[in-house]
Amino acid sequence: MSYAPTPPIFLRVHAGRVRSGILAAILAALAACGADAPLFNQAQENANVSDGPIAARKPYTFTHHGITLEDPYAWLRDPDYPTVESPEILAYLRAENQHYDAYFEPLKDQVDEIFEELKARQPQEDESVPYLRRGYWYQWRFHDGAQYRTWYRAPQDTPEDWQVLLDERELAKDREYFRLGAISISPDTRFMAYSTDVDGSERFTMEVIDLADRSSVTTPIKDTLGGVVWGSDSKDLLYTRVSAEWRPYQVLRRALTRDVEDTLIYEEADTGFFVGLDTSATDSHAIISTASHSVSEIYLLPLDDIDALLRQVTPRRDGHEYEVDVWGERLVVRSNRRHSNFDVFMTANLTDIGEADWETIIEASDALYITGIAPFQDHMVLTTREMGLEQIRIYAQDLSMHAIDFDEAAYDVGLSINPNYDTNKLRLSYSSMVTPSTVLEYDIPSRAQTVLKTQIIPSGYTPANFRTERLLCPSRDEQLIPISLVYHKDTPRDGSAPLHLYGYGAYGAVIEPRFSTSRISLLERGFIYAIAHIRGGDDLGHHWYQQGKGMVRTNTFNDFVDCARFLIEKNLTSAGKLAISGGSAGGELMGAVVNQAPELWGAVVADVPFVDVLNTMLDASLPLTPIEWPEWGNPIEDKEAFEYILSYSPYDQLKTGRYPPMMVTAGLNDPRVTYWEPAKYVAKLRTLKTDHHPLILKTNMGAGHGGQSGRFSALREVAETYAFFLSTLGEEDRAGTR
């Protein structure tokens, strides 16, 4: 059994607006910290210190491709990063956090009210649907009021005899941050490996214990990505190590029964490639992958002979992406070598696995995008996207196929936990924007669906009170952009309703039209909620992703603005009543669309935003920079890429003028979007904005990219976000106009 949570992409946001008189208190606090240089410059043009702390400007210029740029806030990057101990930097971030606290002080009652609503929709006690694996049932539970899960197992023959595997509550006790990376049980069910991150840095520490007496089997394994692959005899495990720059670059072997040093299995020298590790569906092989955003290379290692040499499937080459799995005695391959939407190939055996021996068995098309493969003993399951919606296709050994039917016009469906290869029952996760999350069991021979669990909403929820739609927005370059909508049936459609428009648009990631209990608090207050399925995601196929990356990146930003104007034209909202949000690369989106059309937005949430794009892509020492050159372009070597990124980089394109109310967040330990990107962005914007709308930066000082941990702590951050929307939409500027 192995469990690995999906890494969070987004971070909920905080905001704050300083009140009259608090500036002196902030300055006094900073003086007590002993900052080395003046943090505030009260004489800067266009700046109003009552609207927030003003960071010092320090001369700094650099020249590249003959172009000279100034970056007076470059000092906000601690030279010792990932250690951040500069008193001056920490003083500035804390001053911004005090500014945030001051903004929310008068909104405390509203935040509390929304938080209690959100909390009331979460069951105080909850549990997963148990599943059977190697003679044991496995399940997690939330106990009454707990922020973290407790993990259990019970023998197959006595399913009532639940035993605690791991109690996250104990591991998280007295910690500001805690995240479980993975739990993995050895094939003989004797040992358990689990990994934890206690500061948000996404550097996990792995522990391995004997479940008979809870004793440690080996010394802790530090600096991992969290997951493991076990040898068939349970005497060895494989894990991935991250470098000092947080790049997963090695696969190592830890012997549990011998006192020997860890053995290096694979090392990736190219800093533009990340290493991944997985187990085949048959549990027979370790699958070691190394990949950039546009190139893949995969190796197989038999788990019953870890001393064997790695077997390469096919060498890396520009533009070729592929993934593999084992189906019986054959290798199945998902590859884009023929079509960008990925075909499925198969080999005759596990000996001849090179690309010359691949036989095409399922062809993609412009309308059929194959997104994943999942082999089982008698069937192979494909996840696909057709007309922008997820589909589940099931193929028998003879490649006859049927698809699973779903009634709703727009929904989200995917594979749930399916740990057993020899099964004819498939577990699925399903929801829509009006249908709560549901765990389904699909019997493949009979094609019958059984509901195993429906999301519990203790405070009540009536689906008939809500409506969902899917619209198509014409873009400025004559593409049709899908928009998913949900709203209360009583919400007017005359332009008076506030609307929350969400977007991401990068890395081929899809924002699915799924259910959210938190969103109900906005819908019941008259909001319409919309997702813009813009280019940069692969909602409509791999080409949709390709049309929003690299040298056509600005399509993503244009699509979002076009969707907003389309929603206004359709009388779903009006300018100034649009609240928009996005995180990470979606935070970059927020910065870009604010620069393009500031007059449209009534409130903006930029979660851990990737807004300092040019400087980050010029810094090859950062872990995500080399691997992301295929996504954004390499401005170090390519002048055209340098100029193009400069033309849209939100930080570089800030100009003097009026800006909407904005909330920006950061995580001090964030390895994905470093804390100084949002900090620099806010520092620069505060000196350029000529309005008095809120501009607030919240830095989670003990967390990373995913924000605060714990299910209820995360809900309070959502409540603060919603309170910010409600307090700013339609607000007139102190000068009398927006």
Query: Which residues, 6+ apart, have CB-to-CB distance to 61 below 8 Å?
Result: 68, 69, 70, 71
Q: Token pair 């009021």 is at which residue?
A: 145
Active site residue 366: no
Which of 86, 283, 705, 727 is an active site residue? 705
d(CA 116, CA 109): 11
User: How far apart are the C-alpha atoms of 697 and 700, rounded to whole Å?
Assistant: 10
Q: Which of 484, 581, 584, 727 is catalytic?
A: 584
- Tell me the three state secondary structure of residue 659: coil
Q: Are 675 and 668 in contact (CB under 8 A)?
A: yes
3-class state of residue 183 by DSSP? strand
Contacts of 45 (CB under 8 A, 6+ apart): 687
Q: Which residue has the tokens 């990925």?
A: 342
8 A C-beta contact, residue 591 and residue 681: yes
CA–CA dist 170, 709 (Å, integer): 14
Question: What is the torsion angle, in degrees rounded to the nearest 10, for the CA atoms of residue 570, residue 13, residue 603 and residue 21?
Answer: 170
Identified catalytic residue from 484, 670, 691, 709: 670
d(CA 698, CA 174): 22
In sign, the C-alpha dihedral spanning 570, 571, 575, 576 is negative
Q: How far apart are CA 728 and CA 494, in angstroms?
A: 21
State the Cα–Cα distance between residues 261 and 708, nearest whole angstrom: 36
- Give residues with Cβ within 8 angstroms of 414, minimum separation 6: 383, 390, 428, 429
Strand partners, 267: 250
Q: Which residues pair with 150 in a beta bridge?
A: 141, 167
Structure tokens at 649: 């980089």
Asked if 3 and 165 count as a contact pair (C-beta separation under 8 A), the reply is no
670 is catalytic: yes
**Please, are residues 303 and 232 in contact by the beta-carbon 8 Å criterion?**
yes
Residues contacting residue 264 through CB under 8 Å, at least 6 positions apart: 250, 251, 252, 253
Written as one string, the DSSP assignment of 661-698 is -EEEEEETT-SSS-THHHHHHHHHHHHHB-S---EEEE
- Answer yes or no: 705 catalytic: yes
578 contacts 501 by C-beta, under 8 angstroms: yes
Q: Could you tell me which of 437, 409, 407, 443 has the C-alpha nearest to residue 424?
A: 443
Q: Are 368 and 384 in contact (CB under 8 A)?
A: yes
Q: Give the DSSP per-residue string, 373-400.
A: EEE-SSEEEEEEEETTEEEEEEEETT--
Query: Which sign does the torsion angle of CA 150, 153, 158, 161 carry?
Result: negative
Q: In what helix (H) or strand (E) does residue 579 lie, and over which residues does it extend?
A: strand 578-583
Q: Partners of 251 in the beta sheet? A: 240, 266
- Alpha carbon of 170 to those of 149, 163, 166, 197, 449: distances in Å? 10, 16, 9, 14, 38
Active site (catalytic) residues: 584, 670, 705
